[in-house]
Amino acid sequence: MFKHTCDLLKAHHMTPANGGNVSTRFGEGFFISAAGCNLGCVEENELIFVERCDVEAECVLYDGPMEPSSESVMHWLIYGNRPEAQAIIHAHDDFATRPELLAGVVGESEREEPYGTIELARMAIETFQRAERIIVLKNHGYVAMGPDLERTCDLVVETHLRLLGKRGN
């Protein structure tokens, strides 16, 4: 399902170079795309199992041939705060960085934080307090969660298409 999800994101131009990450909950941890992987052509060995995170130490315990995404702490916090979340997609989309398109479609974080930081992870949690399943991290991209990868990806693509439609107005 990872490959199918990434193929859909690629079809809608949301897999730039090494941007974005995808995860799915598994037991007490989750599988996530590797750091620096290109979601547009993700390989099986680029799926890394994160066993746990020490948020304060920004330490990620993982099992796999590569390091997990730099956004692993964000995924860990979302899973910990939203037990209904079984999948998370963080995708980049030029439309998601245009505040004039976001109004009435998707909530945006109050401020920008550097990617891969605990501050960004906490900003995501804070923004999800005002949103059900999808947010935009200011000047960064979507973060969506759902019951599985398929429905989470559908939400990201649907949001992308709504913003695309607003662009023409």
Residue 169: pLDDT band (50, 70, 90) is low
Q: What are the CA-CA distances from residue 142 to residues 1, 64, 67, 168 (Å)?
A: 19, 26, 22, 21
- If you compute the radius of gyration of the chain from its CA atoms, what whole number of angstroms results? 15
User: How is the chain split into domains, by residue range?
Assistant: 2-167
Domain over 2-167 is classified CATH 3.40.225.10? yes
- Give pLDDT, residue 128: 95
The string of pLDDT tens digits covering residues 2-17 is 889 988 998 998 888 7
109 closest CA partner among 93, 94, 101, 120: 120
The string of pLDDT tens digits covering residues 35-77 is 989 888 888 889 999 999 998 888 999 998 899 999 999 999 9
Statement: residue 168 has pLDDT above 80: no
Query: For residues 131 and 78, is the Cβ–Cβ distance under 8 A?
Result: no
- Give pLDDT, residue 55: 87
0.85 exceeded by the pTM?
yes
- Give pLDDT, residue 100: 87
The string of pLDDT tens digits covering residues 124-151 is 999 999 988 999 999 889 999 999 999 9
- Give pLDDT, residue 56: 85
